[in-house]
Amino acid sequence: MRWLRYLGYALGGILLAGCVAFLVAAWIYRDIPAGVLEAKYTTPASRFLNVDGVRIHYRDEGSGPPLVLIHANFASLLSWDDAVESLKNTHRVLRFDMTGHGLTGPDPSGDYSLERTVELTGRFVDALQLEHFSIGGTSLGGTVAMHYTAAHPERVDRLILLSPGSLEGRSMQRAGRAVPKAADILKYIAPRALAEFMLTSRFGDPSRVTDKLIDQWYEMWMREGQRAAILARLRSYSSADIVKVTAAIRVPTLILWGEENPQAPVEQAAELRQMLGSAPGVTIITYPGVGHMAAEEAGPAIAKDIQTWLAAPTVRQKESVPP
């Protein structure tokens, strides 16, 4: 039975090597302290606000009518950098990091549902004492903006949606729960190449993905607890009854969409306009060669279109003018 002994030695050696490899990889991909990230990514416009036990990081820039911007899943408020450079010249732009993203960190409650995210958005604007404002979001941020607008039409002046995640979310209600348990390895080992892949696969032109952008995504992921929070959000994701939500939206709405969007095809823009039948005026603008990450990929063009649209009279304003 000597062969059994040798087999035991071999299996033990393989197991030991695997454990050592895992520990080495976990050390290589170890967390980046929050203080290090804050020192690198905060600016004079950065603020921190405690909202329902969550220390929310946000930036407050410019002056004029307030405009709240919400980023996508996996990303951070940095997604809006290029657009805000122009938007802050005409508006007070407020953008924040959602829980488990950027410099905000995990939610102590452990709740990353859409309902909780919308609730925190409401508490955030309440804490800033914003009575009336326009709100916009990209991907998941667009979903959050739609749900907030539907629930608080008296607060929102205008709604801006960049490839919102709600339409594909109808199937993601099931897909979110199907995130495999094996994905939990990302809590411990998350290579930079994963951030690069996620960005290049979502850009219309992968050559536009810069090392700076990859580093931003990757470093934000490496904050303690962030990867676990992202997985929890994916597993709890549901766009709820999007037909009911869109029917409740009664503010002018701007839909922006990349024509090379692999995650949410541009045809969904027209479908969304039909669903927003109660909104007093819906405008669609599409961008050739741009993918799902439109804010990062075409920030200056998007900012120009947003400014032009916000400066134009609303349908409600036109209707109030005597003939």
Cα dist. 193→184, 190, 198, 297 in Å?
Answer: 17, 8, 9, 19
Mean pLDDT of 192-220: 92
118 and 232 share a domain? yes
**Distance, CA of 117 to CA of 29 (rounded, Å):** 28
Residue 165: pLDDT band by 50, 70, 90 thresholds?
Answer: confident
20 and 167 share a domain? no
**Distance, CA of 92 to CA of 65 (rounded, Å):** 6
Q: Is residue 218 part of a domain?
A: yes
- Summarised one tens digit per residue, pLDDT across range 111-121 is 998 999 999 99
Entry pTM: 0.84
Residue 34's φ and ψ, nearest 5 degrees, are -55, -40
- Summarised one tens digit per residue, pLDDT across range 12-45 is 444 433 333 333 333 344 689 999 999 999 999 9
User: Which domain does 14 fall in, by range?
Assistant: 1-30
What residue has token string 């134009």?
312
Cα dist. 309→16, 28, 251, 282, 283 in Å?
Answer: 62, 47, 13, 11, 9
> What burial letters (b/e) apply to 47-61, b meaning 16+ CB within 10 Å?
eebebeebebbbbbb
Domain count, the chain: 2
13 and 64 share a domain? no
What residue has token string 């992202």?
230
Q: Is residue 319 part of a domain?
A: no
